[in-house]
Amino acid sequence: MDYLINIFFLSQGKEKKRIKAIIPVHLFGQCADMESIINVSKEYGLTVIEDAAQAIGSEYEFSEGLTKRAGSMGEYGCFSFFPSKNLGAFGDAGIVSTDEKDIYNRLKTIRVHGSKPKYFHNLIGGNFRIDAIQAAILTVKLKYLDEWTKKRRENAILYRRLFQEEGLEEIYLPEETEKKHIYNQFVIKVQWHFLAYKIEVYVCRKDTGQQFCFAKHLKAIANSY
C-alpha cells in the first residue's frame, strides 16, 4: 500500500463544481500521482496545493521523463520543519513555496497580518513569520539533507531484508511507487493489533508506534452521538 490520494475517486467525483482545490498529501515521504492530479486540476480549473510536510526531497517522474521534487509541482507547496521531520528545526516552523509571482506577493502579505503597506490591512492574515533562530538552524542543517535522505533509504533496504529473513508474512511493507521515497517513516501494515504490539516490544524495541489510529473527523462525529 502507498496510502496516497486515490486518483480514481478524484476523477470520478460527482460534485466537481463545488471543489476549489486539490490537496495531495505526500504521505510518509513519497509523492502522490501528481501527473494524474495535475491533469484533473487543468480539466476543471482547480488549484493544486501540495502537502509536502513529510516529503521534502522526494521526487516524482512524469511520463515524459521530467523529474520534479515534492512541493514544486502545484501552485503551492507546503513544508513543515517540525523537529520530527527529515529537515527539522528546534521548534515549530514551515514554509510555502510557489513559482507564481502573484501568489508569492499574496503569501507575503498574509504572513504579516494581511497588511500592505504597513497598517493597511487588505487581506485577513496573521503573524506567520518564521523565527530567525529557526531559519538559522535550518540553513545549517539543509546542506546535510541529501546525505540524511540517502541514509534513510539505505535503512529502508535493510528493514526490508530483515523482515524477509524473519519470514513475517503477515506484515505489509511500504511500496515505492514513485522515483524517490525519502522515508519520513517506514510504515508497515499488520492484520492484528497483537502482532503490532509483538513487533514493537520484541523485534524493534524502540522508535515504533501506531500511526493515525483514528480519522479525526469520523471520531468527532461518532462521539457526538
pLDDT digits 0-9 by tens, 35-64: 999 999 998 899 999 999 999 999 999 999
Task: Give the domain ranges of the chain.
Answer: 7-142, 145-204
CA distance 185 to 164: 19
Question: Do residues 28 and 3 lie in contact, with contact meaning Cβ atoms separated by under 8 Å?
Answer: yes
Give me the residue label for grid cell 507547496: 77
In the chain, the percentage of residues whose pLDDT exceeds 90 is 58
Give me the residue label for grid cell 467525483: 13
HEC readout, 25-76: ECHHHCCCCHHHHHHHHHHHCCEEEEECCCCCCCEEECCCCCEEECCCCCCE
pLDDT digits 0-9 by tens, 206-217: 566 666 666 666
Write the DSSP symbol of residue 142. H
pLDDT band at 30 (very low <50, low <70, confident <90, very high): very high
Q: What pLDDT, on a 0 to 100 scale, did the predictor assign at position 188?
A: 84
Query: Would you say residue 200 has pLDDT above 80?
Result: no
Q: What pLDDT, on a 0 to 100 scale, did the predictor assign at position 110?
A: 94
Q: What pLDDT, on a 0 to 100 scale, did the predictor assign at position 2?
A: 60
Query: Would you say residue 16 has pLDDT above 70?
Result: no
Fold of 7-142: Aspartate Aminotransferase; domain 2 (3.40.640)
